[in-house]
Amino acid sequence: MLNTAPSKTGVLSPEKRTQLRKRWLTAMLMAAPFILFYLLFLIYPTLRVIQLSFTDADLAGNGVWVGLTNYTKLFTEPTFWTALLNTLYFILLTVVPNTLVGLGLALLVMRLKRLRNLAMAAFFLPNVLPVSVVTSVWNWVLDSNFGLVNYLTGSTVTWFQDPVWAMPAVAFVTIWWTVGFNVLLFIAGLQNIPPELYEAAALDGASGFRLFRSITWPSLWPVTSLILLLQLIAQFKIFDQIYLLTTGGPFDKTLVLLLYAYREGFQQQHGGYSSAIGVVLMVIILVVSALQAKLLNRGGR
Amino acid sequence: MRLPRMLALGLPLTLALSAAAQAQTTVTFWDFFGGGDGIRMKQIVDDFNKSQKDIVVNRTTQTWGNPFYTKVHTSVVSGQTPDVMTYHLSAVPSGLKKNDLRAITPAELAMAGLKISDFQPNLVKTLETDAKAAGKTGIYAVPLDTHTFVVYYNKDLLKKAGLLGADGMMPAMKNIADMTKALQTIKDKTGVTPMALSTNQDSATPWRLWYSLFLQQGGTMFKGGKLYLGDLDTKGKAALQTMADWTKAGLLTKNTAYPAGVALFTAGRTAMMFNGNWEVPTMVDAKAKGSLKFDYGIMSFPALYGSNNETWADSHELAIPNNTKTPISPEKLKAVMTFIGYVNKQGGLGWAGGGHIPSYLPTQNSAAFKALQPNVQYSVKSAKDATLEPNVPIFGVGGPVYDAVGNNFTPVLLGQLTAEQGISKFKAALINFNK
Amino acid sequence: MTATINKSTTTKPPAPLSVRLSRLWGGVITALTLVLAAAWVFPMYWAVVTSVKPDDETVAAPPTLWPQKFDFSSYSYIFQNSPIVRWYINSVLTAVLITFLVLLLSILCAYALSQINFRGRTWLYWLVLAGFMIPFQASLIPLFIFINKLGLVNSYTGLVVPQLAAPIAVVIYKQFFDQVPHELGDAARIDGASEWRVLFGIFLPLNWGITVSLGIVTFIAAWNNFLWPFIVMNDTAKLTIPVGITQIQSAYGVAYAKTMATAVTAAVPTVVAYLIFQRRVTEGVMATAGLK
């Protein structure tokens, strides 16, 4: 790396200054294309959504300042609270279970020798499917009349339309779809545990569950916390599976924040109100991300 | 040398081809027909493209209902509209409110060799009323058909239950008790669930049944040009109660999604099906392919409260999006109107094969349509009974009334709310939407 | 069960009976793992099998685990009656374009941030890191309005550009570039090589592995992206595969075989890509999760 960052430009020779300017120009040329897209399509909309949330804009972006109206309406609207609670319920059903299932499967896969890659591929494969393929496959497997699950169990539950089962069913599909990601991370974590640790503990007479509790679990904790937080952030943004499997139904039992924002913004043309929902979602995710950054920093040390 | 000769031969040909391509007008056409009637529409478009050389219609199908109207609106906002599209008459009030529709003048109709008096009068009148209510004048869509709610039945199963008349057809039930008795007999004698009604992820079907039962009691939700809720607590509740009772007694399928409802009926696992006439091609095609293992019949929706025959109906229109960013060019407009003319005139009978009743009177009155099977079994009576949805923007396909039905009626059918609670929540939702 | 993981590495000599027991136990666990793995892929198998059955067999009771009669008409139906080929082309083009641009932009930006000491570097890196936390989903409305103002709604450009704004690849590349020994670059610079030469001649070849891994992961993500293409595209013919196939699913009638044929067709590229590049995908996933 070229060093000597100029602190006092005044004492530099002309050649040095040209050189510095040239270097600066090169750096800018390299960084600019990405930074341009980044500012235009990520940062600008993020600032604009805050501004829009104080207007009654439509989808074309025309609207006038309405102050806090959208927010007062939002916080007194029962549908918003339904959507928030449903989102939290979905998080409850996915984040910890998905992590635990991932850990369990990773521990099982680690035991295999020749078939390890095959088993890992089996658990990870759903992960590479487009969401609409996942939802149409499960819509078919869980079809209430002709689906395989109901045929085998004799059940008549309509999984994705039942007020009680819809959310757990979506959560189940989500776990099936995404757990492979967690399995991979856990396997990486498990492989990083030095075998000497186990050997030492075994010499001390530890075995069975005690080995897991005293060695595996503590050593895995950085990975586990990372997975938990990645899940948490991802699941706050849940939209695709819900839209495709239940469209928020039955009777708003699976309506989540992002779907609510979509409905209001794109289907009802309430751009300002929808932006207010977006701002709330963003604040929540920023808080969770800040938490993640803090935890990751600690884990890194 | 070979090369120059090939060039000499090839060049004029290429030029001729590109000239032909330039003279052609391409028309982008959006519809929402995914099933049997989609195949009929595809046929009509293909025939149109083959019938002449100046216009090529590119048809694309979008997801029916709310997603379709959401896409139309975003396309109008962005100025990236199709040139012509299908529309529901029931969605016209909301479309006018969103400024998604462009007026079609008599002169433009004349380009297609059409005049407004060629179309079924009540549909035209509804279009005019809708425009007036939105503070506009004229016609914002061209009616294509009327479609309504009918009863499909499995003759083999009904024979087993002893419910088939001497003519091999099912006699219409005369009242609710009569209908309940018939359904119970089917259940007792054949063991199958008597009636397929889709209620899952589908607010449209329960809405159609409920609205028909509500209408037949003389109920209305539109009085003096405004939303009227006075009949809901009485007639509306009674209609919902009837549906809840049937479901509770196991006479209607519970928790069945739209495709499953059709599959249950076509697989012979229900004896009847309440559904729209657009499933006619499903039956016709299945029968032709030999995959339908029974004889079926269709009857118009029976009058279950005395003599009032009114039945829910809607109408498909052809409409031009209101693209203000890049308004439609005169050349394109002419092509669009030519296509609209073709669909109604030459395509009319093919479209009727989708189970629909053509709005274009010359087709509707033609001998060929009057002899069309299986439409003859219901279309004359259904055309008379057809009653459109209230002319208020909250109604119609893709409108918020569907949410209100899904959120408040479906729980009643599942036994989670009483009919009374369902209706009062439905009323509150309508008031909220109409604010 | 977890305790048995490292039994093989324990040094204590076990008694014969416990050896047999633990072998048996190990066998049970292995069997259980394989059964679970099979169960995990079963829905995919079921989709494939359903797609090659005739319509009436798909709804027959009892369901047939293996088709009694093979019927490929669902495939010919969807190829003839839907723009699925067009959607495929759209997906391939946009996913390849996104992958290429994401890699190129990230490599350039990360190199500047990692290797060139310029004024504002720290500040710029913080700006990029801040974006790490911002969910684009929260600002769909302004993004749509902005893309619309640019006249890019319903265009491939409008579909692609917002997907170039995610900073994750920049951050990953910066970490990789940071680890390249300084001497390599400095030696070249002393010989008069420009920064561009140093990047493309030394740094990129040294990090070819992560480039391939990130490329595949970016491609899969771009191929599977649903929400933005769903919002920005109006025209059915311009849709990508994941959004397009939801259009076929709304078809009426008995359509289970057709729906599954559509799903299978849509899934082929990413599944094949994964099966071929399994190790690379794993690497890429690790990198995007922040674990190298």
CATH number of residue B97's parent domain: 3.40.190.10
> Residues B335, B399: one domain?
no
Count of domains in chain B?
Answer: 2
- Asked if B64 lies within 8 A of C235 by C-beta distance, the reply is no
Cα–Cα distance between A43 and A38 in angstroms, integer?
A: 7
pLDDT at C15: 60
Instruction: Tell me, yes or no, if B175 comes closer than 8 A to chain C by beta carbon.
Output: no
- Digit-coded pLDDT (tens) for B193-243: 999 999 877 889 999 999 999 999 999 998 887 889 999 999 999 999 999
B35, pLDDT greater than 80 = no
> Residues B124, B184: one domain?
no
pLDDT at A10: 56
Region A203-228 average pLDDT: 84
pLDDT band at C292 (very low <50, low <70, confident <90, very high): low
DSSP string, B70-112: HHHHHHHHHT---SEEEEEGGGHHHHHHTT-B--B-HHHHHHT
Residue B253, min C-alpha distance to chain C (Å) = 17
pLDDT at B65: 87
A217, pLDDT greater than 50 = yes
pLDDT at B2: 44
Give the residue, A297 or A191, on which the prediction is more confident: A191
Instruction: Tell me, yes or no, if C212 comes closer than 8 A to chain A by beta carbon.
Output: no
Mean pLDDT of chain A: 88
Strand partners, B87: B317
- Asked if C63 lies within 8 A of A151 by C-beta distance, the reply is yes
> Residues B254, B400: one domain?
yes
B6, pLDDT greater than 80 = no
DSSP string, C38-61: HHHHHHHHHHHHHHTS-HHHHT-S
Cis link prior to C14 (omega < 30° from 0)? no
- Most confident of the ranges B23-27, B275-279, B380-384: B275-279
- Judging contacts by C-beta atoms under 8 Å, the chain B residues touching residue A170 are none
Interface subset of C 62-121, CB within 8 angstroms of B: 81, 83
* C77-289: CATH architecture: Orthogonal Bundle (1.10)
> Residues B306, B319: one domain?
no
- Asked if C252 lies within 8 A of B263 by C-beta distance, the reply is no
- Report in angstroms the alpha-carbon separations of B30 from B72, B103, B354, C234, C236: 9, 18, 17, 10, 9
Cα–Cα distance between B8 and B11 in angstroms, integer?
A: 6
Q: Is residue B375 in some structural domain?
A: no
* φ/ψ of residue B318, rounded to 5: -110, 130
Cα–Cα distance between A143 and C50 in angstroms, integer?
A: 13
pLDDT at A214: 84
> Residues B156, B273: one domain?
yes
Instruction: Tell me, yes or no, if A52 comes closer than 8 A to chain C by beta carbon.
Output: yes
Q: Is residue B235 in some structural domain?
A: yes
B275, pLDDT greater than 90 = yes
pLDDT at C235: 85
Mean pLDDT of chain B: 89
- Most confident of the ranges A14-28, B229-243, C65-79: B229-243
pLDDT at C81: 79
Coil, helix or strand at residue B61: strand
Four-CA torsion A24, A25, A31, A36, nearest 10 degrees: 120
Q: For residue A206, is it left (φ>0), alpha (ψ between -120 and 50) or beta? A: beta
> Residues B341, B309: one domain?
no
pLDDT at C147: 95
A210, pLDDT greater than 50 = yes
Q: What size, in residues, is chain A?
A: 301
DSSP string, C176-200: HHHTS-HHHHHHHHHTT--HHHHII
pLDDT at A2: 46
Region B182-198 average pLDDT: 94
- Asked if C247 lies within 8 A of B63 by C-beta distance, the reply is yes
In chain B, pLDDT over 90 holds for what percent of residues?
A: 65
Region C207-234 average pLDDT: 92
> Residues B308, B319: one domain?
no
pLDDT at A37: 96
A7, pLDDT greater than 60 = no
Angle at A123 between CA A121 and CA A128, to 5 degrees: 75
pLDDT at A22: 87
- Digit-coded pLDDT (tens) for B118-132: 999 999 999 999 999
- Digit-coded pLDDT (tens) for B338-390: 999 999 999 999 999 989 999 999 999 999 999 998 988 888 888 888 898 88
- Digit-coded pLDDT (tens) for B389-404: 888 888 888 788 888 8
What is the 3-state composition of chain B as percent helix, strand, coil, each rounded to the nearest 5?
Answer: 50, 15, 30
- Judging contacts by C-beta atoms under 8 Å, the chain C residues touching residue A52 are 141-142, 145
Residue B275, min C-alpha distance to chain C (Å) = 12
CATH superfamily entry for domain A89-254: MetI-like (1.10.3720.10)
- Digit-coded pLDDT (tens) for C251-263: 445 578 989 999 9
Strand partners, B318: B86, B142
Give the residue, B267 or A177, on which the prediction is more confident: A177
Interface subset of A 64-103, CB within 8 angstroms of C: none
Give the residue, B425 or C2, on which the prediction is more confident: B425
Region B400-416 average pLDDT: 87
Query: Which one of B31, B37, B46, B74 makes the best mutation probe of the C interface by having the most chain C beta carbons within 10 Å?
Result: B74
pLDDT at B196: 95
> Residues B125, B236: one domain?
no
The residues spanned by each domain of chain C are: 2-74, 77-289
Domain range for B324: 23-144+315-365
The chains in contact with chain B, meaning 3 or more Cβ pairs closer than 8 Å, are: A, C
Direct distance between the N- and C-terminal alpha carbons of chain A, in angstroms, rounded to an integer = 25
pTM of the model: 0.83
pLDDT band at C4 (very low <50, low <70, confident <90, very high): very low
Which of A10-14, A40-44, A247-251, C156-160 is least confident?
Answer: A10-14
Q: Are B139 and B127 in contact (CB under 8 A)?
A: yes
The residues spanned by each domain of chain A are: 89-254
pLDDT at B10: 45
Interface subset of B 352-391, CB within 8 angstroms of C: none
Residue of B nearest to C236 (CA): B60
pLDDT at C13: 56
Instruction: Tell me, yes or no, if A218 comes closer than 8 A to chain C by beta carbon.
Output: no
Q: Are B369 and B108 in contact (CB under 8 A)?
A: no
How do strand B316-319 and strand B84-88 relate by DSSP bridges? Answer: antiparallel
In chain A, pLDDT over 90 holds for what percent of residues?
A: 57
- Digit-coded pLDDT (tens) for A253-267: 899 999 999 999 998
pLDDT at B14: 47
